[in-house]
Chain A
């Protein structure tokens, strides 16, 4: 070690110019992936062990997050209540919805935060689906940073086309919480078509059939000259490969005559079911063993077990074709996305309905992330946009409640977005001075059967007879599919508006609090890092000076020696405290008082070299 090593001004390595690193993130129910441009080509990134899929699992312990991904998933059997999997399915759901139907066993939910903000009860305290998702996003961002050596500047995150407003909002909140800048939320099927379309230049009408772990989407896209137009979308937010596992598990319970299965045993049972189902992908029969019971599940039995679920997927396909007013004969390509489409029963049913063999050339698990990665490159400006553009639709109808608990739809499903639509409403009673607006989402006629998105009140309406006031209500949906609503009374210009926030889940105050918390944590982290770096620099300098004095102390004057000793003592004292700024200041001071000494040592070294010392020594000295 030499003095020269740390005499660099400013302390620490000079930062490299920041490249705009963009990535596509498939935040999946079962697995998540990140894809980015590597050597001019967008591909998914693997972890240290070579796995591209990051299981969407987080393990919580008393100290906080213990593990994310495969390590967390591996603990699901041992510590089922504290390993949160499939958190995506809980996004945008109310406490009641989470507790009903047994879809979320074996979890307990935290009632303390109330109906509006349900959270998983874990050893680390209540963790809501947004926090769990943020942890997964952070892990992916870290993987990207480690692989590319660059900070993630922006990401395209995919969501099921069928995601409602609350679910989209919460996905965005999760990204904010993880410090990931969202360039765009992109519908998963669209992302898949991007991957196929750009790689092969396909043209025509495309069906994307996406059966993932927990969600099902089917989209009809038209692709012409680089412009994708989403003609119609449909699907089911509560249907996926997990349901097939569940069906097999129920079958297993019935076959084995087992008693009711306790909550902690479910993950193990579901794993047995999942293995059996996956084995049926290439075998006619799968051996199964559960609690001492042994048996076999054959393809025919599985087809029967799966039939109601398969039927639900085909019903959605019919609906999409009908919405688009198109015949299956007009379809040019059918793309399969999602690990669950590896099931022969699915491939068979899809091929039969559309009358053509589906494409599955790109790994159905990776294709969505790759498409999102391609789109991210374009949006961040690394790739010229060219003709490439996605024209999306609004997947679910949006409307307001009218008299009689009916829904007046303002923006119908499958309307191209962004879109702004207005409609006029009037008062119901004489002298009515305010109007309560209830914004809902869904296809049903009755308010109770739609999802409530927001309520707000427009006041300041001058008293008039019923029906005389004119209130213009405007719905605006942006390119991400997020809604804002405003209402304006014509005669007075009185106005009210609302940026629709999820009415289930987090309200904006809670999100702000979470953001503050995470920023505070980030600040703490930064301070800790600054302190660590300052101490390290100081230690290096003190070691170097002590070593140099030992070697060449004779060339120091008494005054110099005194200054250096004093600076050393002060710095040593400061090192006992946690003030990184003071440590840095004293390090600079020590560096300054020892500068002349360092220069003379360099002259000495140069002189030594001229006397026949090896160049190696010089290099080492110069550091």
Chain B
């Protein structure tokens, strides 16, 4: 049976760090799931089936954490003993708060019809660019062991990610009324 490793990176024999090889992560995840998945124990006893569910759940959690850049960043901080659950206003510089407000307002001000699609795509592009930029900064801060800076960047990444979700939601609600 699978041994639970010290951390999610080690579980997939990957070095601890933000940059990971997605192909390797995916291949190792699939290989390990093939060994522990409950379907492999469909005819086995109750205890073995329960263990399979636990191990398989653990692998899924590890995989989903490492697969998403945002969650991976948060996990790296947590491994360094930094609590990313708590976020205070002071964690974000005033100009960043202002930038966030601006983005939110532009989303709220979109017209409720098809003409909004172009603006929505523009907003999405903007958010994606900023996300990439902040991610680069996070990688540098984390590698340079500037953890407090990395934590603030992480919260910005969180905001931008959430903002993208809101864009998607808006897109969905527009699609349901628009014709295409």
Partner of B171, one of A227, A322, A379, A391: A322
Q: Are A224 and B30 CB-contacts (below 8 A) given A391-B37, A479-B56?
A: yes
- The reply to whether B39 and A379 contact each other, CB–CB distance below 8 Å, is yes
Given contacts A381-B43, A419-B60, contact A227 B34 (CB under 8 A): yes
Assuming A224-B30, A319-B172, is B57 touching A389 (CB within 8 A)? Answer: no
* Measured CA separation A419–B60 after assembly (Å): 7
Chain A residues lying within 8 Å of B42, measured Cβ to Cβ, are: 183-184, 379-380
**How does the 8 Å CB contact mask read for B155-180 relative to A, with 1 for contact and 0 for none?**
00000000000001001100110011
Are the CB atoms of B34 and A478 closer together than 8 Å? no
Contacts of B33 in A (CB 8 A): 227, 389, 391
Is A275 in the interface zone, CB < 8 Å from B? no
Instruction: Tell me whether A416 and B64 are in contact (CB under 8 A).
Output: yes
Which of B40, B43, B61, B168 is within 8 Å of A419, CB to CB? Answer: B61
Q: Once the chains bind, are B168 and A479 in contact (CB under 8 Å)?
A: no
- A36–B180 alpha-carbon span in the complex (Å): 43
- B8 close to A (CB within 8 Å): no
Give Cα A315–Cα B175 distance, bound, in whole angstroms: 7
Chain A: minimal CB distance from B41 (Å): 10
Is the CB–CB distance between A318 and B175 below 8 Å?
yes
Give complex CA distance A401, B60 in Å: 25
- Binary contact readout A172-196 vs B (1 if CB under 8 angstroms, 0 otherwise): 0000000000011000000000000
CB-based contact B176/A389 at 8 Å: no
For B85-127 the 0/1 string (1 means CB < 8 A from A) is 0000000000000000000000000000000000000000000
Distance in angstroms between the alpha carbons of A319 and B176 in the assembled complex: 11
Interface size on A, residues (CB 8 A): 31
User: Which residues on the B side are within 8 Å of A224 (C-beta)?
Assistant: 26, 30
Residue of B42, B168, B172 ringed by the most chain A CB atoms within 10 A: B42
Asked if A225 lies at the interface with its beta carbon under 8 angstroms from chain B, I say: yes
A115 within 8 A of B: no
A389 partner, pick from B37, B54, B172, B175, beta carbons under 8 A: B37
Contact of B34 among A314, A387, A421 (CB under 8 A): A387
Q: Which residues of A contact B63 (CB under 8 A)?
A: 416
Give CA–CA (A420, B56) in the complex, Å. 10
Kindly identify, within residues 13 to 46 of chain B, every residue whose CB is under 8 Å from any CB belonging to chain A.
26, 30, 33-34, 37-40, 42-43
* B interface footprint on A468-485 (CB within 8 Å = 1, 0 otherwise): 000000001011000000
Distance (whole angstroms) from the CB of A500 to the closest CB of chain B: 15
Whether a CB of chain A sits under 8 angstroms from the CB of B141 is no
Q: Does B53 contact A (CB under 8 A)?
A: yes
Taking the complex as formed, is A385 at the interface, i.e. its CB lies under 8 A from any CB of chain B? yes
B64 / chain A contacts, CB cutoff of 8 Å: 415-416
Does B60 lie within 8 Å of A390, measured CB to CB? no
Question: Are B30 and A225 interface neighbours, CB within 8 A?
Answer: yes
The answer to whether A416 and B175 touch across the interface, beta carbons within 8 angstroms, is no
Chain A residues with Cβ under 8 A from B179's Cβ? 311
Contact of B61 among A319, A390, A420 (CB under 8 A): A420
Q: Please name all residues of chain B whose beta carbon is closer than 8 Å to the beta carbon of A400 when the two chains form the complex.
A: none
**Hey, which chain A residues are within 8 Å of B175, CB to CB?**
315, 318
Question: CB distance A419 to B39 under 8 Å?
Answer: no
Within 8 Å CB of A379, what residues of B?
39, 42-43
Interchain residue pairs A-B with the least CB separation, the first 10: A379-B42, A416-B60, A479-B38, A420-B57, A227-B30, A418-B57, A418-B53, A418-B56, A389-B34, A419-B60
Give residues in A with beta carbon < 8 Å to B: 183-184, 224-225, 227, 229, 311, 314-315, 318-319, 322, 378-381, 385, 387, 389-391, 415-421, 476, 478-479
Residue pairs across A and B with Cβ atoms less than 8 A apart, 14 shown, are: A183-B42, A314-B180, A315-B176, A318-B172, A318-B175, A380-B42, A389-B33, A390-B39, A391-B30, A391-B37, A418-B60, A419-B60, A420-B54, A478-B53
Further 16 A-B residue pairs, CB within 8 A, beyond A311-B179, A318-B172, A417-B60:
A224-B30, A227-B33, A311-B180, A315-B176, A322-B171, A322-B172, A379-B42, A379-B43, A380-B42, A391-B30, A391-B37, A418-B57, A418-B60, A419-B57, A420-B57, A478-B53
